[in-house]
Amino acid sequence: MREDHLITAKQLSRADIEAVLDRAAEIDADVSAFGDRHEDAVLGLMFFEPSTRTKMSFETAIKRLGGETVDMGPVDSSSVKKGESLADTMRVVEGYADALVLRHPSQGAAKMVSEFVDVPLLNAGDGAGHHPTQTLLDLYTIRENAGLDDLNVGIMGDLKYGRTVHSLAHALTNFDAQQHFISPESLQLPRSVRYDLHESGAMVREHTELDEILPSLDVLYVTRIQRERFPDENEYQEIAGEYGIDLETLDAAKDDLTVMHPLPRVDEIAPEVDGTEYANYFEQAHNGVPVRMALLDQMLEEDQ
Amino acid sequence: MSDHELRVSKIRNGTVIDHIRGGQALNVLAILGIDGSEGEAVSVGMNVPSDRMSHKDIVKVEGRELSQDEVDVLSLIAPEATINIIREYEVAEKQHLERPERVVGVLSCPNHNCITNAGEPVETKFDVLDDGVRCEYCETIVRDDLAAHISVK
């Protein structure tokens, strides 16, 4: 397997992360200076699952580097409908593109594809598994607002199926960060993530109530409690309200708390929070472009 | 040879898997893909008394020596087992099982959403942990009832 595939945040060292974030900051400062960095580069967008932010930010990123995209389009109009395997589809498209971005509903899809393709592969989400490029933009946002060390980070919501949570948790083990996981018991971290955090010696605490820990947090990363995971709508309604935040909730927070969300949100963060200094989730989404530009720049540069 | 081992017949050439945890003998046969349809002579002792284990299972297979893959999976579900290769009624080799670092193509992943269950051209691969195994693709950790996840060949 190539070493420069990005499959999971676990493969990223602190130095790897800082190299991407530093380059993203350079890009952010003067995006036009990077406009001809990768003329003629073609990025293959392979989204087997719906996506708005991730797909558009990759598309914007390669275009701002001077490159183009090839896009498989919706699954319904692709060869997948004819029964072609993922491995075959990706082996064909690697002949068209200089790098590939894959989103797929099955866990481990990117890991498997990495064994078949020889152009750089970026995992843009594999089921409930990983989402490492989201993590890089999350870390960029955290660094811009709170630094990356001596942090108390709260991660709240669906921790069991939330791939952004899994990747962020892994990446934060590279930094001096105490991680607080806040969720209903039924949506706590999966066994595999707990195992990795334990093995890495991460500082981790689990909570069922946000108010137990909110006053000490520097960052609160909120994720959507996924309604479709609950067999009983009433059970969802009881839980969902407890894991949302509004201005009243934030009365107990530090003044400089950074509130983040990978989006889309439903009702986890009340709209009244949007106009406050706490809200960083739209900035976080915008950071996807410079961070993915930095990552693509690095990968395409190394591939030349 | 003690009395309880005589409860099943001696074999001339083949493998005796001894000191299997009580009740696991049929899973051992499943790993070996032995269901009697090939005509090989198979003897199975279940829950026979054992000095070392209180009760144990024992499997004797005529005309068959185990592959390393088979031994690797056996080590996961029957770590205390010993494998005796029999030639001309004598124990020619005696092997204690060692847990491998990974097993390939012999366990199925219990996560239905794992890419290895999606009909792709890929073998399952599991890292062996101190107290279970972990899918290298979806990272699901399996600690209990590994025998239920053996892909019978």
What does A71-90 look like in DSSP terms, one character per residue? E---GGGSGGGGT--HHHHH
Taking the model in full, what pTM does it have? 0.90
Rg of chain A taking only CA atoms, in angstroms: 19
Q: For the segment A232-259, what is each residue's pLDDT rounded down to a tens digit? A: 888 888 787 889 999 999 999 999 999 9
ipTM: 0.94
Active-site residues of A, by number, are: 53-54, 82, 103, 131
Cβ-defined contact of A129 to B138 (cutoff 8 Å): yes
Do A130 and A7 touch, CB atoms closer than 8 A?
Answer: yes
Give the pLDDT score at A303: 67
Residue B117 to chain A, least CA–CA distance (Å):
9
Model confidence band, residue A1 (pLDDT cutoffs 50, 70, 90):
very low
Cβ-defined contact of B138 to A107 (cutoff 8 Å): yes
Mean pLDDT of chain B: 86
Averaged pLDDT for residues B60-75: 84
Strands A258-260 and A219-222: parallel
Return d(Cα A264, Cα A268) in angstroms, integer: 10
Chain B neighbors of A127, CB-CB under 8 A: 113, 138
Return d(Cα A189, Cα B129) in angstroms, integer: 19
Q: For the segment B94-146, what is each residue's pLDDT rounded down to a tens digit? A: 988 888 899 998 899 999 999 999 999 999 999 999 889 999 999 999 998 88
- Token readout for A297 is 């720049």
- Token readout for A179 is 């991680």
β-bridge partners, A42: A68
Q: For the segment A86-96, what is each residue's pLDDT rounded down to a tens digit? A: 999 999 999 99
| A266-270, B18-22, B49-53: range with lowest mean pLDDT | B49-53
Query: Which residue in chain A is spatially nearest to B133 when comparing CA positions?
Result: A192
Residue A86 to chain B, least CA–CA distance (Å):
7
Return d(Cα A225, Cα A223) in angstroms, integer: 6
Residue A295 to chain B, least CA–CA distance (Å):
23
Name the B residues in 82-141 with CB < 8 Å from any A CB. Answer: 111, 113-116, 118-122, 129, 134-141
| A143-157, A205-219, A268-282, B5-19: range with lowest mean pLDDT | B5-19
Q: How many CA atoms lie within 13 A of B118 on its CB side?
A: 22
Interface with chain A: mutation pick from B112, B116, B117, B122, highest number of A CBs within 10 Å: B122
Cβ-defined contact of A111 to B118 (cutoff 8 Å): no
